[in-house]
Structures are given as structure tokens and as C-alpha cells.
Amino acid sequence: MDKLIKSISDNGHFRAFALDSTETVAEAQRRHETMASSTVALGRTLIAAQILGALEKGDAKITVKVIGDGPMGLILAVSDASGNVKGYVKNPDLDYQRTSTGEILVGELIGNGQLIVIKDMGLRTTYTGQVDLISAEIGEDLAWYFLQSEQTPSSVGVSVILEENADSVKSAGGFLLQALPEATDEEIAQMEKQIKAMPALSELTIDQILPAIYGNLTYKILEESPLAFYCDCSKSRFREGIRSLGPAEITAMIEENHGAEVVCQFCGRAYHFTEVELNDLLLEKSDL
């Protein structure tokens, strides 16, 4: 099972999260049948959304959009404060050659664009933050977002490793390190050195990430919680969507296709509506 570990330094100057998101990204790959480069880009964005969701509480919803001018197209992920995330990539079929180390770089495929974060806290208005992509490799871009939009010095790592010569996911995970207001410039500089000296995320288990981040700085675990790919779509929700189209559109579905099939963009689940069900919607419309 995927999980998130939250921690804080004993002096209260830093907090760090470690994530194992292997099953999350593997499930996304299976549902969307993404090829290698698309899998990595989508997976990194899902992990970024899980990191942002872990910073929230209650019923908050976080939407992350990566919008570039490259062939990847839009990448979108939606997370909550309970570790659930869903998402999709516009072009699931990108499969470019890996580097000599097996790493897949996606920056050129995403291109120039923006990282947009939308926070829905259940209030009347939502908060939207936006920064230009600086590398389009997602981790650096999220760290840039934290600095520019939330004025919080941060280091972010997101990693998706695929099986050799395959599109299936071998491992996926990430980390977040943030300097809290009490941290001094010297302490921040020291933590930056430790981050640069860390082994690659793909070489660490989730239990090894926090010791690698903190080094000699003592810390305590605050919480461990599950992470998962989860889509809250339902037939009743899509039924309301069809209902909102109006009688003319519903009638056309009946006459042309004798029914309708709706596929969820986020998880690929298909919902079928029979001619009888569509006629019932027309009757509901006529009763209004």
C-alpha cells in the first residue's frame, strides 16, 4: 500500500514529507494505458498533487494543471487531504527513448507553459496560484511555485521509474522539504547541501528518504497515512450531466444511438445509459 510520512525537525525549523506512490502511478498507467513518457509526466504530476493535498486539511480539493506548448498537452491531477488523487494526460501515447541511466526526461515534451494550482477549501471562492514552468520536469516547478506563490523555500523531488523495456511502473515516490519561518539562512544552506548530496530517489525506500533529507538534524514522525489513486465518479453524477444538456441533445442520443456511453476522463470508467434511461430523463425535463 502506498503511504505518506510527515515529519518535523526537533527544533521546529523544517518539515519534510516522504511518499511512496508506486501503486498510485501504476493504477493511473493501467487505467489510461499510457506509454513511457506520458506515464512519467502524469505520474510526477499525480505525486505533486499528493504533496499539495498533504498540506491541507478537511474537505479541501487541490487541482494541479501543467499546461505546456509541447506534444504532451494538458496534464491534470486532483487530490484531497486524505491522500486520494486522480488525473489524466491529454496525450497518453508519447514513448521517447530513455537516457543511458534509464531516466525519462519529459521537459521537452511538455514545453514552455505554466503550473497552475487551484485550492478549493469549500468556501465561496477558490485560491489560484500560477507560475511559469522553469524545467517542466515537475519537481523543480513545484518548488518554484512554493517559493513564488507561498513564499516558502522548498525542495521537491518526484520520481517515476519504469520497468526495463516496458511501460509498467517499477517505483514512484517523492519528497517535500520546507523551511519554516524560524529557519536561519545558514540552516537552509546546510539543508540544501544535504539535498544535493542525496542518492537518487529511485535508490531509496520510503523509510530511507527522511534520514537522507535531515542528515544529522534530529526529527520526529508526525503521521503516516495511506495514498491511493481514487476517482469519485459515478453514474448518477454523469446522469445529471446528461440531464443538463437539454431535451434536444438527449433526443438526438436516443434517435441516433438508442442510448449513450460516457467515459470518465480521470479514470477511464465507462457508464452506459439505455434508451429507456434517456427517455426517463426527458420525462423529468418535461415535469419541470
Distance CA 156, CA 49 (A): 12
Instruction: Give the chain's domain count.
Output: 2
Q: Is the pLDDT of residue 2 over 70?
A: yes
What are the tens digits of pLDDT across the range 136-189? Answer: 999 999 999 999 999 999 999 999 999 887 779 999 999 999 999 999 999 999
**Mean of all residue pLDDT scores within the chain:** 93
Of all residues in the chain, the percent with pLDDT exceeding 70 is 97
107 vs 28: CA distance, rounded Å: 20
Which set of grid coordinates corresponds to residue 110?
A: 511538455
Q: Among 186, 202, 229, where does a domain finish?
A: 229
Distance, CA of 83 to CA of 229 (rounded, Å):
8
Rounded distance between C-alpha atoms, residue 67 and residue 249, angstroms: 31
Same domain, 146 and 35: yes
Please check whether residues 187 and 67 belong to one and the same domain: yes
Model pTM?
0.93
Which of 101-110, 113-122, 220-229 is predicted least confidently? 101-110
Together in a domain, 266 and 200: no
Q: Is the pLDDT score of 270 beyond 50?
A: yes
State residue 28's pLDDT score. 98
Give the pLDDT confidence score for residue 288 in this predicted structure: 46
Of 212, 229, 246, which marks where a domain is finished? 229
| pLDDT tens digits, one per residue of 37-60 | 999 999 999 999 999 999 999 999
CATH number, residue 274 = 3.90.1280.10
Average pLDDT over residues 84-90: 98
Which of 195, 229, 263 terminates a domain? The answer is: 229
Same domain (yes/no): 38, 103: yes
The secondary structure of 67-98 as a DSSP string is EESSTT--EEEEEETTSEEEEEES-TT--PPP
With cut-offs at 50, 70 and 90, classify the pLDDT of residue 121: confident
CATH code: domain of residue 180? 3.55.30.10
Residue 39 belongs to domain spanning: 3-229
Q: What is the pLDDT of residue 221?
A: 98
Please tell me whether residues 252 and 146 are part of one structural domain. Answer: no
- Could you tell me if 170 and 133 lie in one domain? yes
244 and 210 in a common domain = no
> Does the pLDDT at position 283 exceed 90?
no
Kindly report which listed range (98-107, 242-251, 255-264) carries the lowest average pLDDT score. 98-107
- pLDDT category at 32 given cuts 50, 70, 90 is very high
Q: Compute the CA torsion angle 40, 142, 221, 231 (nearest 10 deg).
A: -50
Residues 197-215 have pLDDT tens digits of 999 998 999 999 999 999 9
**Do residue 239 and residue 224 come from a single domain?**
no
153 shares a domain with 261: no
Domain shared by 214 and 79, yes or no: yes
**What local confidence, expressed as pLDDT, does residue 225 receive?**
97
User: What is the residue type of 259?
Assistant: G
Residue 98 has pLDDT above 80, yes or no: no
Q: Does the pLDDT of residue 88 top 80, yes or no?
A: yes
On whether both 162 and 143 belong to a single domain, the answer is yes
Q: Say if residue 56 is in the same domain as residue 128.
A: yes
